Structure 1
Amino acid sequence: MKHLITAFILTGLLISCNSSDKTKTTTQETSDTETTAESLSTAIPKNLKAIETNEDLIATSLMAAPAESRAKSKVIGYNMAGEFVTLKEGENEFIVLADDPNKDGFNAACYHKDLEPFMARGRALRAEGKSSEEIFDIREEEMKSGKFTITPGATLHIYYGPNTTYDPETSMVDGAQLRYVIYMPWSTSASTGIPETPSAPDHPWLMNPGTHRAHIMISPMAKDKS
């Protein structure tokens, strides 16, 4: 009789353990299925549109500016016809240089209006056929002579990526991201304490130290799109 009771108890324990394992397995499978479904839903392509008009160009290029400043920022650059024009008038401290529709990928920049003489000089020298090295040297000498200045702390925001399609609901360009520049003319690592190479991803570093074009570079890591 005692052996029979023991057998019943063991059988009950085995059934209980088996049920528990099945419950855990079922719960895990459900969780895995939900995770897979969530991943698939986020991977569904958005309703993307090609940048085909000046309005598209303005909307996407303004993404380089801070969100609260976009409505009143001035936009300049090449229009869809290849003419360098003012695409949109502005009334705040920012100028947006629109993406050039005749070049591969997307690259728009937003900078403080006090940087316009420096930027305009670079565009003029480039139009003359000067190389990047020649432009650097010429502007270096002109800064030293006082022909123009760069206010320390003036910012440049660059919105860039490999694609030229965008979400018309948000104006975000597919695959684009931001990087930031803070101009600090003539600064060095010794004068600022900022390293000349990034210490880690997302960390600021000083580029072109000791020159007119010394600037703090901040390149945020790309967002995980999975």
Structure 2
Amino acid sequence: MKRIITAIVFTGILISCNSSDKTKTTTKESSTTKTVTESVSSIDTQLKAIDTDEALIATALMAAPEESRATCKVIGYNMAGEFVTLKEGSNQFIVLADNPKQAGFNAACYHKDLEPFMARGRALKAAGKTSEEIFAIREAEMKSEKLKITSGATLHIYYGANALYNPETSKVGGAQLRYVVYMPWATSASTGLPNAPVASNHPWIMNPGTHRAHIMISPLPEEVKQ
């Protein structure tokens, strides 16, 4: 199934390219088709399952700024299903690895000052609280200053539908980055940002006026960047 998804994506790219330039010759189109086919085959043989703790660490670190990866702390579920520290760190970042028991891929990197807030969310979820209950509880705890979020603290999310990666680069097939900049209690009026994205790749403010108000920035996938 993973290979089928990858093939569909590349086929879509090929069709788009062909439709945008009708003047291409049959020879050139045939050459392009051959190149893409060979590329898909090459990628399929490169991508491997994330099936070891080492692979979990390597792929999770792709969520962190490149220059900081070597000294990031990595936490998350290991292959045995235990929530542990997968890698000790010494800088300002904590990286949450992908959960191997869940479909797709999702890793996150955030400033260590956000850990109490993140840990509280994990604890409430483990206690069986719903998303709405977790939101309400942390809202109350933020208002009482039991919890704190530093305005401007950033969450880097590396995510995708594919759970396969390239062992040579640690990149996950089809994964991309998204950024969240926390600004508790901020609104559209206080920031000048819209409450919904006006176009792809444009920042906007989500959960305005709440403890979880944040700027959303979703870069375009690499394959569609201009």
TM-score above 0.5, yes or no: yes
Supply the distance in 1 between the matched residues of 2:42 and 2:117 (Cα, whole angstroms): 40
Supply the distance in 2 between the matched residues of 1:75 and 1:128 (Cα, whole angstroms): 23
Supply the distance in 1 between the matched residues of 2:101 and 2:34 (Cα, whole angstroms): 39
Segments of structure 2 that go 5 or more residues without pairing to the other structure are 1-23
User: Is 1:45 aligned to residue 42 of structure 2?
Assistant: yes
3-state SS, counterpart of residue 42 of structure 2: coil
Alpha-carbon distance change, 38 to 145 in structure 1, aligned in 2, over 3 angstroms: same
Q: Amino acid of the residue matched to residue 58 of structure 2?
A: A
Residues 156-199 of structure 1: CA deviation (Å, up to 9, x unaligned): 01111112111000001111111110000000000000000001
Aligned length: 199
Q: CA deviation at 1:29?
A: 5.5
Residues 91-140 of structure 1: CA deviation (Å, up to 9, x unaligned): 11100011111111111111110100100000111111110000000100
Q: CA deviation at 1:34?
A: 4.3
Residues 185-225 of structure 1: CA deviation (Å, up to 9, x unaligned): 00000000000000110000100000000000111222328
Supply the distance in 1 between the matched residues of 2:153 and 2:25 (Cα, whole angstroms): 53
Aligned to 1:4: none
Segments of structure 1 that go 5 or more residues without pairing to the other structure are 1-26
User: Is 1:78 aligned to residue 77 of structure 2?
Assistant: yes
Aligned-pair RMSD on alpha carbons? 1.6
Aligned to 1:118: 117
Supply the distance in 1 between the matched residues of 2:29 and 2:138 (Cα, whole angstroms): 59
User: Is 1:197 aligned to residue 196 of structure 2?
Assistant: yes
Identical-pair percentage = 70
Q: Describe how 1:7-22 pairs up with structure 2 within 5 A.
A: none
Aligned to 2:216: 217
TM-score normalised by length of structure 2: 0.83
Supply the distance in 2 between the matched residues of 1:36 and 1:138 (Cα, whole angstroms): 54
Aligned to 1:135: 134
Q: CA deviation at 1:48?
A: 1.3
Residues 8-52 of structure 1: CA deviation (Å, up to 9, x unaligned): xxxxxxxxxxxxxxxxxxx95654454444433433332111111
Looking at CA atoms only, which structure, 1 or 2, has the larger radius of gyration?
1
Aligned to 1:148: 147
Supply the distance in 2 between the matched residues of 1:32 and 1:181 (Cα, whole angstroms): 41
Supply the distance in 2 between the matched residues of 1:33 and 1:83 (Cα, whole angstroms): 50
TM-score normalised by length of structure 1: 0.83
Q: Describe how 1:79-94 pairs up with structure 2 within 5 A.
A: 79-94=78-93
